Amino acid sequence: MLPCVLASLWFSKGGFVDSEGWRVFRLQTFEPAAEIRTEPLFNMSLLSGFYILLGLYSCHSATVLCCSVFVGKDEAHGGMIRTKRANSGWFEELKMGNLERECLEEKCSYEEAREVFEHTEATDEFWKNYDVKDHCASNPCENNGLCSTQNAESYTCLCSPGFSGRSCEQAMKDVPDSCLHDNGHCEHFCTEEDARRNCSCADGYYLGSDGQKCLTQEAFPCGKVPLLQGGGAAMKDDVRSRVVGGVECPKGHCPWQVLLKYGQKGFCGGVIYKPTWILTAAHCLEKLHVRFLKIVAGEHDIEVDEGTEQVIQVEQMLMHPGYVFKTSDNDIALLRLREPIVYSTYAVPICLPLRDMAERELWAVSKHTVSGWGKRSENGPTSRLLRRLQVPRIRTQECIESSNVTLTSNMFCAGYIEGKMDSCQGDSGGPLVTRYRDTTFLLGIVSWGKGCARPGSYGIYTRVSNYLQWIHQQTANSTAATH
């Protein structure tokens, strides 16, 4: 009956054309779903007539051809059925393209991604960030340097003491004063121009007379905890103490953290960037209307009015134009406030790094801090008190292999392989920050993960250093269109 089927298929002109120019038909039988591939399109007009005639003749005289022409089922299927993945269900190919099944739960091919997006342009954009190569596989760092894949095009080496250079190839005695050695002795940012090292500072700071130290005259400069200025104790939390896990962030010790509320319900976190601008995750804003959205700065205990809270209406939501809900790529957004936050001991902006500084210096810091009011266990209630947790960043390739997740170059992993401590539902949009030389910088935004604190899985964060230009452009243009 196969020729009869082919004849009817040619009459119907059904199926779809795959990336090699074959027309593919899916047949539902009592066997697992089968796919029939015809000749490439340039032979279609010639072969269509042949198949129609063959089909009609075979339908008319099947009893004559059954023994002399048809081969056994196994042999016939061997030439006509596309091999499916070993762990796929019988009827997976009958389902519509599903990105989570095809490309997030397991590695997918370009053709499978094309079936999901249906358009070449959208597929190419996804594939550019999806197929992230492990640039550390060739061990490019010399002299026992540690390699870290930064994005689809580059890697960074954390050099052993006494060595410097992109691949740790130079001994310090051979290296002039440069940004590769101790950040050029700059307190904040180091750049090189015309073979000279230049120091600069974050917003609100100015360079001291020594050309290295960053000073400020502002009462509440970015990245500083007012309660710790003047002899206060720095964070000494035990990272293994029982966000999931972690400890309470003492009131005023995470002053850049804000709570997002929709109506009267808190649901996500955010971080203060400027008096009228908040950074958060794009996925937090899905299907929300701006008129019901507020932020709370100076919050600590969500069940008690402590007199330090500032509740401010959101005027505008700006989700990154490249945000993809299915993959969580470009999971970052800005909120413009109707009124400015009044900076205080309990409401202070975070500092943004330069990209080079983030990838060269901040990545090398052993622990980073994530905070929020999220669930204290995967199936438990949210926390009434703001909590924080110190986590190490994990190499991209190690995260992919351990967690079996798909990452783009706009994401990074942090957490513990044994689980127990992680960001969780409700922490989304909150900050992952890094303290560097007594100033705290924003490195990531809580994005997604497999459950919460599951063994073998890590938290996934948006790589803020990839969006610095976008952030500066949007916050300089307060008339951008509302989403």
Give the pLDDT confidence of 435-466 residue by residue, as tens digits.
999 999 999 999 987 655 456 678 899 999 99
8 Å CB contact between 387 and 269:
no
Distance, in Å, from the CA atom of 191 to the CA atom of 214, rounded to the nearest integer, reads: 15
Tell whether domain 146-215 is in CATH 2.10.25.10.
Answer: yes
Q: Is residue 283 annotated as a catalytic residue, yes or no?
A: yes
- 411 by Cβ neighbours in 10 Å (0-12 / 13-18 / 19+) ranks as buried
- 125 by Cβ neighbours in 10 Å (0-12 / 13-18 / 19+) ranks as middle
Q: Is residue 428 annotated as a catalytic residue, yes or no?
A: yes
Q: What is the pLDDT of residue 18?
A: 53
Q: What is the pTM of this model?
A: 0.64
Catalytic option among 58, 188, 331, 427: 331
pLDDT above 80: residue 243 = no
Beta strands in 194-264 (DSSP E): 196-200, 206-207, 214-215, 247-248, 257-262
Helix/strand/coil for 355:
helix
Query: Where does the pLDDT of residue 405 fall: very low under 50, low under 70, confident under 90, or very high at 90 and above?
Result: confident
pLDDT above 60: residue 203 = yes
Query: Where does the pLDDT of residue 224 fall: very low under 50, low under 70, confident under 90, or very high at 90 and above?
Result: very high
Catalytic option among 283, 300, 320, 368: 283
Tell whether domain 355-468 is in CATH 2.40.10.10.
Answer: yes
> Which of the pair, 108 or 325, is modelled with greater confidence?
325
Helix/strand/coil for 445:
strand
Q: What is the pLDDT of residue 238?
A: 39
Beta strands in 153-292 (DSSP E): 155-158, 163-164, 170-171, 189-193, 196-200, 206-207, 214-215, 247-248, 257-262, 265-274, 277-280
Query: Where does the pLDDT of residue 285 fall: very low under 50, low under 70, confident under 90, or very high at 90 and above?
Result: very high
Domain regions of the chain by residue span: 2-95, 98-131, 146-215, 251-348, 355-468
Share of the chain above pLDDT 90, in %: 43
Q: Which CATH architecture has domain 251-348?
A: Beta Barrel (2.40)
Digit-coded pLDDT (tens) for 30-88: 444 444 444 444 444 444 444 444 444 444 444 444 444 444 544 444 433 333 222 33
Catalytic option among 428, 447, 457, 465: 428
Q: What is the pLDDT of residue 27?
A: 46
> Which of the pair, 114 or 235, is modelled with greater confidence?
114
Same fold flag, 251-348 and 355-468: yes
Query: Where does the pLDDT of residue 128 fall: very low under 50, low under 70, confident under 90, or very high at 90 and above?
Result: low
What are 201's two structure tokens? 């500072």
Q: What is the pLDDT of residue 448?
A: 83
pLDDT above 60: residue 250 = yes
